[in-house]
Amino acid sequence: MPALASHQRPLSLHRVVEPAWSQQFKTSTWPVHGPLPLVVEPQFGEPATTDILIELIESRREWLEEMLHRHGGVLFRGFTIREIEQFQRVSQAVIPTLKPYVEGQSPRTKVADNVYTSTEFPAQYRITLHNELSYAKSPPTRIIFHCHIPPAEGGETPIVDCRRLYASMDDDLRERFERLGVKYVKNMHGQERGLGKSWMEHFETSDRNVVEGYLHQNDIDFEWTADGNLRTWSIRPGVLRHPITGEMHWFNQANLFHISNVDERYRGQLLDRCGEDNLPTHAFYGDGQPITAADLDRVRKLMWDTAVIFPWQQGDVLVLDNFLVAHGRMPFKPPRKILVAMG
């Protein structure tokens, strides 16, 4: 396959050597957004096939990795990806072994082997920005989104560069998360119906032995309750140094787990029903100290103030470095079907 041609030199966070490009594709960035994401699309506006995109990814793997480390995300636009199987093949070109959504908090449907709907959280709510499975011992390094059915209105997937977030964070707040980390607490019911996802849905199994083996292997403390529910808690970092670039970046999900993330209209009802100890999810500093709602409101505000928001188009594939970039979801009017894979 011929090499790619440069339409516009991307804005640079790191100095890297550009490949030699042909005339088949162009790259660009949106000036209003800065370097995130880098957009790759056919040079002359004619849609390109799924096979061409897969060949591009496989033949330019080193370049793609460099662009992910530089920009944080790459948006492939203008490719004819209409079937779930096509997206699965593209995902496997980026990540040969896709991960299951084990430990995942969001309600999702598996539509193919380790390909899921992005979330089935009610359409009227905005989902705060977060790095996927940042509370896991081994979070996915890559997450890939695909616009299968564009939203009728809204429904964007906002993204934010966590290096920029870390650098912009108030010193006192950043220091506490850096020094103490985050303690994540989950309470998962064991019935067919209940508040939030069951432990069977979280771990994609109904075998307690399999669940316990996973929890031991992943340094997660746990206890089973008399009524068959599962309570887990683990301590994870609040910030990380990127394993490849060496840059410090924000990396936690306290703002999503914490009770303050629940709409104020329902927060009191949830606390009355569950009590703080039995909330479906909650977050503390790593030493057990409470994280104040005011602190997390500061985090959320900074995230939204620096977020990049762009409209989906059918066929879009967005590849993110999950360590460097957090994502969320805007409210929408159906229909909307965004698929996700990770690894």
- Let me know: does 30 contact 42? Beta carbons within 8 Å: no
Residues 248, 166: contact at Cβ < 8 Å? yes
d(CA 197, CA 188): 6
Does residue 37 fall inside a structural domain? no
User: Is residue 5 scored above 70 in pLDDT?
Assistant: no
Q: pLDDT at residue 105 above 80?
A: yes
SS3 label, residue 88: helix
Average pLDDT of span 215-239: 97
Residue 196 has pLDDT above 50, yes or no: yes
User: Does the CA dihedral 194-236-223-216 come out positive or negative?
Assistant: positive
Number of compact structural domains in the chain: 1
Q: According to the model, what pLDDT value does residue 207 have?
A: 98
In the structure, what pLDDT confidence band is assigned to residue 2 with cuts at 50, 70 and 90? very low
pLDDT in the model for residue 23: 61
Instruction: List the CATH number of the domain containing 176.
Output: 3.60.130.10
In a domain, 286, yes or no: yes
**DSSP letter string, 242-284:** -TTT--EEE---HHHHSGGGS-HHHHHHHHHHH-GGG-SEEEE
Residue 294 in any domain: the answer is yes
54 sits in which H/E element: helix 50-59
Separation CA 207–CA 225 (nearest Å): 16
- Sign of the CA dihedral running 161, 163, 165, 167: negative
Range 21-28 average pLDDT: 76
Domain membership of residue 175 (yes or no) is: yes
Q: Given a cut of 90, is residue 338 above it in pLDDT?
A: yes
158 falls within a domain: no
Task: Give pLDDT, residue 15.
Answer: 30
At residue 1, the pLDDT reads 38
The pLDDT tens digits of the residues spanning 151-190 come to 999 999 999 999 999 999 999 999 999 999 999 999 999 9
Mean pLDDT (the chain, rounded): 92
Section 223-238 average pLDDT: 97
**Domain ranges, residue 296:** 164-303
Average pLDDT over residues 315-338: 98
Percentage of the chain with pLDDT > 70?
93
Query: How far is 55 from 282, CA to CA, in rounded Å?
Result: 43
CB neighbour class for 39 (10 Å; exposed up to 12, middle 13-18, buried from 19): buried
Q: Give mean pLDDT, residues 303-312.
A: 97
Does the residue 206 lie in any domain? Answer: yes
Residue in this structure with the two tokens 């790759």, named with its chain if needed: 40
At 193, the pLDDT band (50, 70, 90 cuts) reads confident
pLDDT band of residue 332 (cuts 50, 70, 90) is very high
Query: Does 273 have pLDDT greater than 80?
Result: yes
Asked if the model's pLDDT at residue 119 lies above 60, the reply is: yes
Is residue 101 one of the residues assigned to a domain?
Answer: no
- Decide if pLDDT at 16 tops 90: no
- Describe the chain by its helix, strand, coil percentages, rounded to 5: 30, 25, 45
Nearest CA-CA partner of 98 in 143, 146, 65: 143
Which run of H or E residues covers position 186? Answer: strand 182-188
Question: β-pairing, 79-80 with 48-49?
Answer: parallel
Asked if residue 181 is part of any domain, the answer here is yes
Q: 14 pLDDT exceeds 70? A: no
